[in-house]
Amino acid sequence: MRRFLCWPALLKPALWGLVLLGAVGAAHAAPPKSVLVLGDSLSAAHNIPVESGWVHLLGDRLSKMEPAWTVVNASISGETSLSGRNRLPALLDKVHPGVLVIELGANDGLRGLPLASLHDNLAAMIDAGQKAGARVLLVGIELPVNYGPQYRDGLRAVYAGLSREKKTALVPFLLEGVALRPELMQEDGLHPVGAAQPQVLDNIWKALGPLLR
């Protein structure tokens, strides 16, 4: 009888080992990867409820993915490419994102700042993100027609050229399908209303989705 009773005793250490391994595995499970959004008022839910903004909607979508992702919205109304460039290193050190979304340049354009400076600032941010191990999504913007074709074409060329050069994903125009529909724009003609945010997210998702796989 003793010979048979000893088998459970021999099995207990192995079973406990499996339990402990499971506990250790759970304790050391990798945290959800993060999407860091560095943008301006177009990403900061300007003049609409935060929960209506496209970044918040993105967070809802990411939370349902397997494995789950999180979103960190570091967007500030009025942000320029230079101020974003200056803030990015600390954000990368804190968040360690798997994906970096750069949605900047609208305020540079609206102020008529030199496109060469915009190019240099965006390039520096892309380089910093890629060096930190993040995949980068560059998000372009269009300006009103009164800025003239030369400046508007040059702005488009900055985003397209950097995307090719740095091998980033690209959304050519954040407000595609929105900007020319008055009912989807606020009175200032620059910012989308809450009802337009799902369309803005769809524009982003076409390029962002593949980066999460």
The catalytic site residues sit at 41, 188, 191
Contact 197, 52 (CB under 8 A): yes
Cross-sheet strand order for the sheet of 135-139: 69-73, 33-39, 99-103, 135-139, 169-171
Q: What are phi and psi of 104, to 5 degrees?
A: -140, 155
Contact 55, 120 (CB under 8 A): no
**Which tokens sit at 207?**
């390029």
The CA-CA-CA angle for residues 208, 211, 213, to 5°, reads 120
